Amino acid sequence: MTKILVTGAAGFIGSHTVDLLLAEGHEVTGLDNFRTGREENLAAAFGHPRFKLIRADAAEPGVLAHILAEDKPEAVLHLAALVSVPESIAQPGLNRRLNIEMTGLLAQAAVTAPGVRRLVLASSAAVYGACPDLPLREESAGRPLSPYGAAKLASEHILGRAVLAQPGLSALALRYFNVYGPRQDPRSPYSGVISLFAAALREGRAPAIHGDGGQTRDFIAVADVARANLLALTRPLSGFHVLNVCTGRAVSLQELLAAMGQALGAAVQPARAPARVGDIRHSLGFPGRAESLLGFRAGGDLTSGLARLLRD
């Protein structure tokens, strides 16, 4: 059993990871200020004897240092962040505080805290921007198109420096690709296209495709992401590593809607909308490094994952 702190525990990815960590026998402390997280996401965890929740703002100086000193976790999964690209553009100061400075506070606290041996950062495929070298590999040049992507890249560098400063500390930055699944709020500006399409179908509306629908993405189920988080927190490793969390399979928006129709047993006709300026045409990750270091491989097919989502 490992004692683990999860920041942003009440969020979409955080709550699924908390559930899996508890199911695997670990002791979990969740930290959330409920800026975007939802209490109902932790409904199952609240009744568990190995879970406790701390309601606090991880971006406040001293909060993380105090929790690491008092709670003494062996590993930390850092999911708390500003997760909206549009919000990062509209509020660059908030983006810096919640995505760069907060990671710095965690790294500083972990370097001096007794017992912390592993840090895992939720990074993003947004660090690649419009890099044309597909599939995207961890060594591909980072070309972020948004303050959000740039902040995630800066946060990775912060973790790397922390490991150099404390040889007993190891760290991983997980670059999530297009995550989908239950509990993803379609009202959120961060929400992925799958949750938006699913919400439209539930409400009897035609899902809107911007452009010709030929855009491709690497869609990964949140259950797989939670499993990657579990492995990153517990697999014996030393040093600092950056890993893609992806499937290695590209799916166009047209194919996505066809798969949703197959899951529903009915054809889905989209509404057409103008292409969005600056939209990345193709995004595809290479999953080999995560498989090699963590033994992680995304499981299941997209149609089955969509069927579970649409039934939820």
Write the DSSP symbol of residue 217: E
Give the model confidence (pLDDT) of 157-210 as tens digits. Answer: 999 999 999 989 999 999 999 999 889 876 665 457 888 888 888 888 888 888
Give the model confidence (pLDDT) of 51-105 as tens digits. Answer: 999 999 999 999 999 999 999 999 999 999 998 888 899 999 999 999 999 999 9
Q: What is the pTM of this model?
A: 0.93
Which CATH code fits 180-217+248-283+300-311? 3.90.25.10
Are the beta carbons of 244 and 306 closer than 8 angstroms? no
Mean pLDDT on 115-142: 93
Rounded distance between C-alpha atoms, residue 79 and residue 99, angstroms = 10
Closest CA to 20 of 167, 286, 228, 191: 228
Domain map (residue ranges) of the chain? 3-178+220-245, 180-217+248-283+300-311
Give the model confidence (pLDDT) of 225-276 as tens digits. Answer: 999 999 999 999 999 999 999 999 999 999 998 888 888 887 788 888 887 7
Catalytically active residues are 148
Are the beta carbons of 42 and 66 closer than 8 angstroms? no
Backbone angles phi, psi at 170, to 5 degrees: -125, 155
In this model, does residue 220 exceed pLDDT 80?
yes
Higher pLDDT, 290 or 145: 290
Which CATH code fits 3-178+220-245? 3.40.50.720
Q: Which residues contact 139 (CB under 8 A, 6 or more apart)?
A: none
